[in-house]
Structure 1
Amino acid sequence: MKSLSRYFFYALILTMMINSILYVPRILINERYEGALMSLILGTLIGSILLYIFTGSLLKFPGMGLPEIFKLSLHKSIYIPSLLILGTSGFIAGGLVLINFTFIISRYLNPETPSYILLLLFVFVVGFGAMQSSKTVLYCAEIVLILSVPLLLFLIIKALTNKHMSYDAVKVILDYTWMFASWKSLTVSTYAFVGYLTLSIFNRTFSNSTDIKYRWLIPIFGFGMLLSTFIIPIGTLGTDGVNDYIFTWVSTAEAIQMKYAFIDHVVYIFLLIFLAITFLYTMVTWHIASETISSCFPRSSPNTSSVTTVLPNAISCGLMGIATIVTGSLLGEDDLFRVSSFWMTIRLPIDVFIVLTVYVLSKRRPIL
């Protein structure tokens, strides 16, 4: 595979889409009077810097993933815990998204079915996809995003031009732009850019690529995505009323109608897009996580869909699937929000540690 730039953008767009729908609106709206807008600016800046450092450093090791780079330069006592932490964090990220989506489906589409039944079905589908080879996962991501991104852009434009969109409510929030951002809102904003970490495994499939084109577009697109998913719910649901909703963007989509379309409510299209990108995001994060964790074992090799290479991935995905089902059965919606918020606050230091480690290794022992 030679189109590194294209597939790298796919991973970034996927992460921005899922986090902008799930985490950014709810957490930042809670912080809307306490520096949320400033966090969007700082989060874009910090996330873009980390992205540039990580990609620039990793591209000095063409055709190698993070496990191979760590094994070359670090002792077992350092690289194995680091890879286990990175892999576990990937599983947690995907698992929380899957549980969130299960709650949404259970509330809006199928309230009669117990959530753990839905979660069991979703885990099986996602786990099977995560056990495929990296090339298969990337091809799947390309297909899903080509179908989903135009629909999402249509929804954003429809929301911004909707007659119920109150820009006066947005102007009220603009008065709080220069308030200092809280740690929680800052970590959530930077998390929208964390898709660059998928290159830690996908770099294996791009042995001839040494550059990523158009990286300068990422901060522009990322900030625009964050800002639109923050102000649209406020403009649609009201400055104060927006705080009454748990799944903010689903409620926002419910309030938007399409007079001349064959579907009169945007929420149906929204949930269809949400279904596709949730499965895809969890599949990608679990694939990265299972590949990272399996590389900690002796005589491990990248997944090529053969029985011997798939088995470690299947075990790790199976164990995480069980943990996801149990967690989803025990947590309520408010509990899940608190867990997700806490996860965001501790994830940024992990990302910074990984980025700085790769940067130092690239300076010490670059491979051209």
Structure 2
Amino acid sequence: MLINAILFVPRILMDDRYDGAILSMVLGPLIGGVFMYLFTGSMLKFRGQGLPEIMKQSLPKAISVPLLLVMGSASFISGALVLINYAFIVSRYLNTETPMYVLLILFVIVVSFGAMQSSKTVLYITELTMILSLPLLLFSIFKAYTNQNMNYDQVRAMIDYAWILPSWKSLSVSTYAVTGYISLSILNRVFTGSQSFKHRWAIPFLGLSILFTAFFVPIGILGTDGVNDYIFTWVSTADGVRMKYAFIERVVYLFLLIYLGISYLFALITWHVGSEMLSGCLSKNQPNTSEVNSVLPHVISCTVFAIGTVIVGNRLGEDDLFSVSTNWMMIRSPLDIFVVLTVYLLSNRRKAL
């Protein structure tokens, strides 16, 4: 959810702001919430197991291995696109003299090292990063809402376009905001006892509020037509917000530092999930162990995708990256739905422990 506010999601929704983006932001979290309930409820029936083990037990190898390869590669690609996007942002706004490929190399090294850790370590990193980032992020959003440049008349003007049916592009992007539950396909291994997921009903509402913030705040500050002039919409929005606290005057620097941690966290989780999926294709793989036959597949998969990320990121321009990200989200949504339905059907064949 949080990664949506700064990267390609606001830009995609801005392109469709007169063509159904608002209704898609309402429907997307609701649709995603339904699949979230199906997926998390299904995974509860496989306590302490990840999707590779579930598929090995329930499906023939001719089906399970290709599925794991596709899902693992998809998870790697999601993280790679975020790293490339953020490298563009850092190169443009924070460190203009450093070549983009150098930033990407540094990013993929740190992310690869984190992705090869155990699932429990990844969850500890998640907790720590969220505790440090969320208060500052909420403060930045509060300053944006109360900024004197925030024009609520521009926001109200968008109500006229609220009932236009959304396109598949905007709907898939809005649904993507609540697909973090897919990571449970690997992280479920950590939950070995009797577990339940509380307050799941709040997830769609959180997704809706974050999408609305990512969409309407830039419109209020930059204008309904002005938002079309920016690629990284939220960075330009944060740059238009000022505050007078100690040595911090421009919110954009605080905002970018916060999202450095959140971008790292997103890439860390997706690459961890991706490497575990690809390693799960091997019959002798033992997850979360230090044995060579368990660690080596992670090293190889992270290295291959790290090299690919640097090569692709160095060749893409900003417009190309935006186009690739848009098409990727339109492809990723059906894949996520397929994963959810597959796990749901497999869970119906198994009694809860």
Scaled by the length of structure 1, the TM-score of the pair is 0.94
1:326 aligns with 2:311: yes
- For the 8 Å contact 1:169–1:239, the answer to whether it is kept is yes
The amino acid across from 1:268 in the alignment is Y
1:348 aligns with 2:333: yes
Query: Residues 228-243 of structure 1: matches in 2 within 5 Å?
Result: 228-243=213-228
Partner secondary structure for residue 299 of structure 1: coil
- For the 8 Å contact 2:52–2:280, the answer to whether it is kept is yes
TM superposition outliers: structure 1 runs of 4+ over 4 Å: none
Q: Which runs of 5+ in 1 are unaligned?
A: 1-15
Comparing 291-300 and 255-264, the one that deviates more = 255-264
- For the 8 Å contact 2:285–2:293, the answer to whether it is kept is no
Superposed CA offset, 1:242-275 (max 9, x none): 1100101100000000034430000011010111
- For the 8 Å contact 1:133–1:305, the answer to whether it is kept is no
Partner secondary structure for residue 221 of structure 1: helix
- For the 8 Å contact 1:87–1:290, the answer to whether it is kept is yes
Superposed CA offset, 1:114-160 (max 9, x none): 11111111111110110111111110110010000111111111111
In 2, Cα distance between the equivalents of 1:367 and 1:49? 20
User: Given the alignment, which residue of 167, 180, 189 partners 1:195?
Assistant: 180
In 2, Cα distance between the equivalents of 1:51 and 1:148? 24
Partner secondary structure for residue 249 of structure 2: coil
Match of residue 8 from structure 2: 23
Partner secondary structure for residue 258 of structure 1: strand
Query: Residues 1-368 of structure 1: matches in 2 within 5 Å?
Result: 16-368=1-353
How far residue 306 of structure 1 moved from its aligned partner, in angstroms, is 4.6
The amino acid across from 1:279 in the alignment is Y
In 1, Cα distance between the equivalents of 2:19 and 2:110? 40
In 2, Cα distance between the equivalents of 1:305 and 1:25? 41
In 2, Cα distance between the equivalents of 1:275 and 1:337? 19
Q: Which runs of 5+ in 2 are unaligned?
A: none
How far residue 307 of structure 1 moved from its aligned partner, in angstroms, is 4.1
- For the 8 Å contact 2:45–2:350, the answer to whether it is kept is no
Percentage of identical aligned residues: 60
The amino acid across from 2:95 in the alignment is N
Superposed CA offset, 1:22-64 (max 9, x none): 1221000110000000000110111100100000011111111
Partner secondary structure for residue 215 of structure 1: coil
How far residue 326 of structure 1 moved from its aligned partner, in angstroms, is 0.5
Superposed CA offset, 1:154-186 (max 9, x none): 111111111000001101111100000010000
The amino acid across from 2:38 in the alignment is I
In the alignment of these two chains, the number of paired residues is 353
How far residue 367 of structure 1 moved from its aligned partner, in angstroms, is 4.1
- For the 8 Å contact 1:102–1:115, the answer to whether it is kept is yes
The amino acid across from 1:317 in the alignment is C
In 2, Cα distance between the equivalents of 1:298 and 1:305? 16
- For the 8 Å contact 1:291–1:303, the answer to whether it is kept is no
